[in-house]
Chains A and B, each alone.
Chain A
């Protein structure tokens, strides 16, 4: 079974600062990777996904992620965060027909 590991459980960051959320995957075969965001008291929403092609994937709300096969990583970045980016972020890997999610990273943006 494929899996992902999110290396940071909590990331505090100041408004307008950059943020990077780290995700490593375990797979030696083709891999499809996703980042989802969960705002307080809401369901999960897709930020972006990597299926193939360019290793730099751009998503919604100014987020982007880079697929790095040699490092088996799929880190999420945003150059300048807003208060509204406060949420929990989940990395996930496509495993047969389902998604296997990481434990999540809570991002708290402070003014």
Chain B
């Protein structure tokens, strides 16, 4: 199994540009999570999907952020327009279920907004 796949691994963009981060969860996993990691705020849950349906997006910072999961094998996190304070490492994780099943993390996307 290839694990959780994220792309791109690194993204450098200018303020105001649209950024799209991509995630392919582990096959058969029903839950998908997007996290953001920064020095100041640590690991924050942005949004959680179960069976492709967004269940909790209370962690999404503001309307500039949106996430979709059109099918069980693909999810995107979009930032439009991007701002320097969005610079962070964004992780996608998936798990079999919603209980205490282990979350498997992707390698992350390091986003730098200039």
Contacts and interface: CB of A to CB of B under 8 A. Distances in A.
A, B in one complex: yes
Interface of A: 32, 36, 41-46, 49, 51, 90, 94, 97-99, 101-104
Nearest to B6: A43
Interface of B: 4, 31, 33, 42-43, 45, 48, 50, 55-56, 91, 93, 98-100, 102-108
21 contacts: A32-B100, A41-B107, A43-B107, A43-B108, A44-B93, A44-B105, A46-B103, A46-B104, A49-B100, A51-B100, A94-B100, A97-B98, A97-B99, A98-B45, A98-B48, A98-B56, A99-B45, A101-B43, A103-B42, A104-B42, A104-B43
Contacts of B106: 43
A47 to B, nearest CB: 11
Contacts, number: 45
A98 B99 CA distance: 8
Given A97-B56, A102-B42, 17 more contacts: A32-B100, A43-B91, A43-B105, A43-B107, A43-B108, A44-B103, A45-B105, A46-B103, A46-B104, A49-B100, A51-B100, A94-B99, A97-B48, A98-B45, A101-B43, A104-B42, A104-B43
